[in-house]
Structure 1
Amino acid sequence: MDDAAFPGQHTTTTRVTTSNTVVQTDLRYDPFYLRTLPGLVKIVQLASNILSFFCILLSSYSHLSRAVFFKTLAGIGFWFTGILLLFYIFHVIEKFFRIPWLKIEFGFCLLWCLLYLVGASLCVDYASIDSAFGAAAFFGFCASIGYGFDAYLKLQAVRHGELAQGERVMVTKQTRMTVSSA
């Protein structure tokens, strides 16, 4: 008895996805990173950090707590971003590809985006008293935008399973099997 609910033949499709990580673990100088979008964003971040730092430093009110907070924020941002930029230029990131660099950068960039929003807002409050605070606030907001955009780029890269540096090649193999029953 053939039952209409159970066909005599069916096809099963199996998909197997494998990934192959291709990295070069030797340290080398690569100035072309500076021409990529992440490299340009890091340059904008460095410039915003250093300019906002010097604006606050040259202010006559640089001893205030909000100025000290802003200088600390700019200093840490400058050093962290500068070291990361050097790591990318010399492929240190690729050498240690097992470290979750994208997640580390995403966390830092998101935190610095928020902290720069707070710091720049505090500077805007004193912009009418000292124009250096107004300039620092402008560069602080530029840094906040830079860090926010970088956080977005890192989040997209993490979602797509990319490496911070190097390549991950995804290979999908599909097999079909037809089974007949008597």
Structure 2
Amino acid sequence: MAYPSGPPPAPPAQSLGSTNTVFITETRFDLSYIVTPPGIIKAVLVVLNLLCFICIEASAFRSNGRGVYFVFVSLVGLAFTGGLLLMYLYHIVEKYHNFKWFKFFGYLAMVSYGVDAFLKAKALKAGELAQGSRVHTGKQTHVTTPPALP
């Protein structure tokens, strides 16, 4: 953009002073976290996990293996995400600001992915399938089809 009256204005001068971070260490309920993007994501995840749990419990699949696993995953997700949401709503994260929250949860995620990678490598060496199972039949059937017509 051209400035008709001369060069562009200089940026504001930066102060060389220090900054202070203030932590309010008392717990208090504050709904303003819900309207932030991380708060919205956590609230949506809590609702989705709760809906998943209700849907699988109302279905006929709740007692088979996949249904039980689905219930387990939805309840664990509900507990962790709901717990984190409550910790942010009540400013418990701010109260215990010396605890390295991002490093702690990042470390747990890294360890979880590492264990998963180890188990996948072990399954690969054993010749297992990524998902599903092999079906072995005792008898092989050979089918001969006639050639296609011209």
TM-score scaled by structure 2? 0.56
Specify whether residues 47 and 28 from structure 1 end up closer, same or farther in structure 2 by C-alpha distance, changes over 3 A only.
same
Cα distance change of structure 1 residues 57 and 46 upon mapping to structure 2, 3 Å threshold: same
Residue in 2 that maps onto 1:135: none
Q: Which amino acid aligns with 1:32?
A: S
From the two aligned structures, give the one with the greater strand fraction: 1
SS of the equivalent of 1:27 reads: coil
The share of aligned pairs that are identical, in percent, is 35
Match of 1:53 in 2: 53
Q: TM-score, normalised by structure 1?
A: 0.47
Q: Point out where structure 1 has 5 or more consecutive residues left out of the alignment.
A: 1-17, 116-124, 126-182
1:106/1:55 CA distance change after superposition, 3 Å: farther
Matches of residues 46-125 of structure 1 in structure 2 within 5 Å?
46-106=46-106
Aligned residues: 99
Structure 1 residues 118-133: aligned runs within 5 Å: none
Q: 1:77 to 1:109 in 2, by over 3 A?
A: farther
Residue equivalent to 1:143: none
* C-alpha spacing 1:53/1:95, structure 2 compared with 1 (3 Å): same
Spell out, residue by residue over 1:107-157, the C-alpha distance to the aligned partner (whole angstroms, 9 max, x if none).
66786xxx9xxxxxxxxx9xxxxxxxxxxxxxxxxxxxxxxxxxxxxxxxx
Cα pair distance change 1:49/1:69, threshold 3 Å: same
5+ long unaligned stretches in structure 2: 1-17, 117-131, 133-150
Instruction: State the partner residue of 1:43.
Output: 43
- Greater Cα radius of gyration, structure 1 or 2: 2
What does the per-residue CA deviation read over 1:50-82, in whole Å, with 9 as the maximum and x for residues that have no partner?
A: 111111111112111111111111101111111
Q: Quickly say closer, same or farther: Cα 1:19–1:106, change in 2 above 3 A.
A: farther
Partners of 1:108 and 1:50 lie apart in 2 by: 24
Q: Which has the higher contact order (CA 8 A, sep 6+)?
A: 1
How many Å separate the matches in 1 of 2:37 and 2:109? 15
C-alpha change, 1:102 and 1:32, in structure 2 (3 Å) is same
What RMSD, in angstroms, separates the aligned Cα atoms of the two structures?
A: 3.0
Q: For 1:74 and 1:29, locate their aligned partners in 2 and report how far apart those are by CA, in whole Å.
A: 26
Provide the rounded CA distance (Å) in 1 between the counterparts of 2:97 and 2:42.
20
